[in-house]
Every structure is written in structure tokens, then in C-alpha cells.
Amino acid sequence: MIDLQQITFGWPDRPALLEIPQLSIEQGERIFIHGPSGCGKTTLLNLIAGIHPAPQGSITLNGEQLNTLSGSQRDRFRADHIGLIFQQFNLLPYLSVQANVELPCQFSKIRRERAEQRYGSVAEAGLSLLQELGLSGLLQQPVTDLSIGQQQRVAAARALIGSPEIIIADEPTSSLDSANRAAFIELLINECDQNGSTLLFVSHDQSLAQQFPRQIDLLQLNRAGEAV
């Protein structure tokens, strides 16, 4: 479902940052990608999310070959099929919790339709996601009043709404304490299971690895720099 073949990526006139001969991820898999800072984790995510086009090799998501799509087609594909969670400051401070969660459905017709199909309405979809994440009491709250742990859960709900096939989480727990961290990952995995979404969880924190059935060490996967 995610298939990378012979990927090379680097900035012009610089040695390649990333060189991945082959990576396959099945639909619904939960992957933990780890590696030290600077090993190309973010670059890999940017490639998978279609932010940067891959100059060589092929990236196939859901049978759609990303590197043949134009910039705006990749944008649309990302909006429709990928949910993103960042390290922190995931939310727009001027929207309520509910509005933040519903935002992807405003930009993607596919996700809006899926949310409506499954829950009847976008509002209902957001509501039940927030409920499952234990945030039902905070719907109309300004997001600035939320704790960081709560904010990250809202971000998870937003990534999950409209059931995108792929959830990409880029160090989402690094600003949480360890108790919150484990709880957050458990919630996230549960929700991905229910949605049938593939989860790519990136972190430099090796201790989180045990919660994931499959782990990828990017340092081993990435061949860039080895030949030099």
C-alpha cells in the first residue's frame, strides 16, 4: 500500500540525504520509524506526504504513483488520504476544538464524504472521535486553554477524521511526559485500528518502539552516505 522503490533525495549540488532501495508497508500496519536527529526522518515523511517530489525512484501510495502527479495533484492527494500530527502547536489558536477537528473535512471532499458516511455528519464524526479520545467536554473550548496532552489528542482526532488511509505522526509525543506518552500512543493505535489506517510514527525515542508491531531503523534503511 505504501511502496518505495529506489528513492534518492538530496538538495542540488549536495550529497544525497536519503537513499532507500526498497520499503513496503501494508495497509493498516503500524510502523515505528526511529533514528537519530538528522538521519532523514523528516525528509522521508515529506517524500511520503508528497511535499517534496522524489526526483528518482518511485513512491506508490494506494496504487497511485506520487511522483507522476503534479504539485497540486499531490496537494489534493495529501489532503484526501493523509492525516498529519506534529510535535506540538498542531492547532489553530483562533478556532474552537471542534472547528480544529473538522478542518480537514473543509478542505477535502473525500474525507467529508467518508465522515458523513460513517457518522452521518462531519460534526458527529468529530464529536465521536473527541469522545473516544476523552475530550468530549472541551468542544467549544478555545484550544489555548488545553494542556499539551489534550492538544495532541485533538490533533490526533483531526488527523483521523474522514478516515484517511495513512496517518503520519512526526514526534507527536516529544512534549508529553512519559505517562501521557504511553496513553497517547495507545489511543492513537486504537483509533488507527478502528479506522483501518496505516500509522507511520516517527520518533528518535527508542523506548516507544515496544508498542509497535513493526519497527524501522532509518539509519539502517538509508543508504545515503554509505558509498561516500
Partner 1 sequence: MSLLLSLTLKSLWNRRLTALMVIASIAVSVMLLLGVEKVRTGAKESFSSTISGTDLIVGARSGSVQLLLYSVFRMGNATNNVSWKSYQDIASNRHVAWSVPISLGDSHRGYRVMGTTTAYFKHYQYGRKRPLVFARGQQFEQLHDVVLGAEVARALNYQMGDKLVIAHGIGSTSFAKHEDQPFTVVGILAPTGTPVDHTLHVSLQAIEAIHIDWQTGTYIPGSGGTTPLSERELEPKQITAFLLGLKSRLATFQLQRSISNYRAEPLQAVLPGVALQELWSMVGIAENALLIISAFVVVSGLFGMLTVLLTGMNERRRELAILRAVGARPWQILVLLVMETALLTLAGLLVGTAVLYLGLLALLPWLEQAYGLQVALSLPAQRELLLLIAVFIAGVVAGLIPGYRAYRYSLADGMTVRT
**Residues near partner 1, by CB under 8 A:** 42, 45-46, 49, 51-52, 72, 75-76, 78-80, 84, 86-95, 103-104, 106-108, 111, 158, 168, 170
Residue 145 C-beta: closest distance to partner 1, Å: 14
Residue 195 C-beta: closest distance to partner 1, Å: 17
Q: Residue-wise over 100-138: b if at least 16 C-beta within 10 A, else e? A: bbbbbbeebebbbebbbeebeebbebbbbbbebbebeeb
Identify the CA nearest to 172 among candidates 156, 158, 183, 191.
156
Q: Which residues sit opposite 82 in a β-bridge? A: 166
Residue closer to partner 1, measured from CB, 110 or 182: 110
Residue closer to partner 1, measured from CB, 103 or 183: 103
Residue closer to partner 1, measured from CB, 104 or 181: 104
Residue 155 C-beta: closest distance to partner 1, Å: 9
Residue closer to partner 1, measured from CB, 36 or 142: 142
Residue 166 C-beta: closest distance to partner 1, Å: 13
Residue closer to partner 1, measured from CB, 94 or 196: 94
**How far is Cα 188 from Cα 41, in angstroms, rounded to an integer?**
20
Residue 210 C-beta: closest distance to partner 1, Å: 27
* Pairing verdict, β 56-61 and 214-217: unpaired
All 3 cell numbers of residue 6? 529506489
| Beta-strand runs (E) in the chain | 2-9, 18-25, 30-34, 56-61, 64-65, 82-85, 166-170, 198-203, 214-217
